[in-house]
Structure 1
Amino acid sequence: MGVEWKNNIDIADALERVADLLDTQDAMPFRVGAYRKAAATLANWPDSVAGLLAEQGEAGLKALPGVGKSIAATVAELVRTGHIGLLERLEGEASPEGLLASVPGIGPELAKRIHEELGITTLEALELASHDGRLERVEGFGPRRAEQVREVLAARLGATGGSVSERGPMARRTGRGRRWRCC
């Protein structure tokens, strides 16, 4: 059993981190909610979750409210190994280069150049750079590719209320979620 993951709060924090990353990557809301619900259950559980796993296995975890097969396996992995593979993958995908490379027409090398040269870390900032001409100054970009990125991002971010073209170039994101304000 992983020595550092015996505390229910630490385990709940790890599940909450998974939920946060899933949320930022637009995962299905029920999946995000499942991780949050399980995190709340484990944080408030009066007995040691690691002890429950040691005594009853994953079946004991699945008996807890809001903890299904997948989350029980995730908790077991964390307690036994000290890490969560899913969390590590999500954190890797949350890197600026990974996020930028998720846009069709931008590969890993081009994403790295955009991040390094323009300091862009979000899709909203990438879209703004595609509108204000900065993107076309990055080696590997021309007007045609910048237009393609504008169209892809307008469709992707417009569906979530985040497109610059939908809300105007002076709006910016405030806090968590998709609330926007001007200037």
Structure 2
Amino acid sequence: MQETRPNKPDAARSDNLFIAEKLAEVADLLDAQGADPYRVRAYREASAFVAAMTESLRKILTEKGGRSLEDLPTIGTSIAGAIAELLRTGDLAMMRRLRGELDPEKVLQTVPTIGPRLAQVIHEDLGIETLEGLEVAAYDGRLETLNGIGKRRVRAIQHSLSEMLARRRFPRADGRMPAPPIEKVLDVDREYRRRVMADDLPKIAPRRFNPGGAAWLPILHTERGPWRLTALYSNTPNAHRLSRTRDWVVIYFEKDGTAEGQCTVVTETRGPFKGERVVRGHEPHRPAYGDQIRETGE
């Protein structure tokens, strides 16, 4: 009798089930943290759709590009980006952020030409924590202001990011990135700090600077018009060193059809706006951020 060997695992099916599992985990995290039910439902529906797919998501991404994922039912821009990131890296920065596990300097070091020292400078001086945030800084001029980074290096970083973030929408011809109006960003900052004071937000247990594993970091998921925003205190080496862990508020934002962006709101410590809440790197006396943020403080 001829020996019957078990079938090898279907790689395509395995990839799809891995993606479905991770999307379901994102939905669970968002749900537990009080995110908008529509957003939670979007991830759950995408997870169910992907789990039932017979066509390989990896094949679609490889042959047709990241934007082709957006054409699939239940898969919008944000979820398509998450799928592409999971397929390319096996990881998802958004999930690590929701769990309090994100290490921004290691994220920045995934870009060619950015080593540990430069990653530290970018993170500490510009408050950047994501590749999407780095892309914004590479186009709006902030990256070029750092010592040791000239126009040629900025162009190299832009090129690397364009390949790494090929699934994303690109900046407009003038180099600006879509962003919510600054009054909306500052309104989210106000809501976050007010609800922290009222002890009215779920808390996560960040991995960094938290040897006891305590759930101490409040997190807010909210909406302003078409924008979905997430706010939490900065839990970074620089924030701890300068005792700003209860002042610096990192805000992530996205809407349908755009990549995720990120900014940090701080209390200005010098100059004519001392004591005011401003978006770091885009204080009222500096160039406007994106095509909507105006030059104003709180």
Structure 1 length as normaliser, TM-score? 0.50
**Does structure 1 residue 35 correspond to structure 2 residue 43?**
yes
Contact residue 4 and residue 82 of structure 1 kept, 8 A:
no
Of all paired residues, the percent bearing the same amino acid is 41
Match of 2:82 among 74, 86, 98: 74
Contact residue 6 and residue 49 of structure 1 kept, 8 A:
no
**Does structure 1 residue 94 correspond to structure 2 residue 102?**
no
Contact residue 23 and residue 32 of structure 1 kept, 8 A:
yes
Task: Give per-residue Cα distances to partners, 1:62-108, cap 9 Å, x unaligned.
Answer: 111100011001110111111000001111163285643429xxxx8
Partner amino acid, structure 2, of 1:102: P
Structure 1, unaligned runs of 5 or more = 109-183
Structure 2, unaligned runs of 5 or more = 1-10, 101-202, 207-212, 220-234, 236-298
Task: Give per-residue Cα distances to partners, 1:104-163, cap 9 Å, x unaligned.
Answer: xxxx8xxxxxxxxxxxxxxxxxxxxxxxxxxxxxxxxxxxxxxxxxxxxxxxxxxxxxxx
Contact residue 19 and residue 32 of structure 1 kept, 8 A:
yes
Q: 1:54 — aligned with what?
A: 62
Question: How far off its partner does 1:59 sit?
Answer: 2.1
Contact residue 62 and residue 72 of structure 1 kept, 8 A:
yes
RMSD: 2.6
Contact residue 13 and residue 56 of structure 2 kept, 8 A:
no
Contact residue 6 and residue 48 of structure 1 kept, 8 A:
no
1:71 and 1:86 map into 2 onto residues whose CA distance is: 11
Matches within 5 A, 1:75-154: 75-92=83-100, 94-95=204-205, 99-102=215-218
Q: Which has the higher strand share?
A: 2
1:98 and 1:49 map into 2 onto residues whose CA distance is: 37
Count, aligned residues: 102
Partner amino acid, structure 1, of 2:19: I
Partner amino acid, structure 1, of 2:85: E
1:45 and 1:98 map into 2 onto residues whose CA distance is: 39
Q: Which has the higher helix share?
A: 1
Question: How far off its partner does 1:5 sit?
Answer: 9.8
Contact residue 8 and residue 43 of structure 1 kept, 8 A:
yes
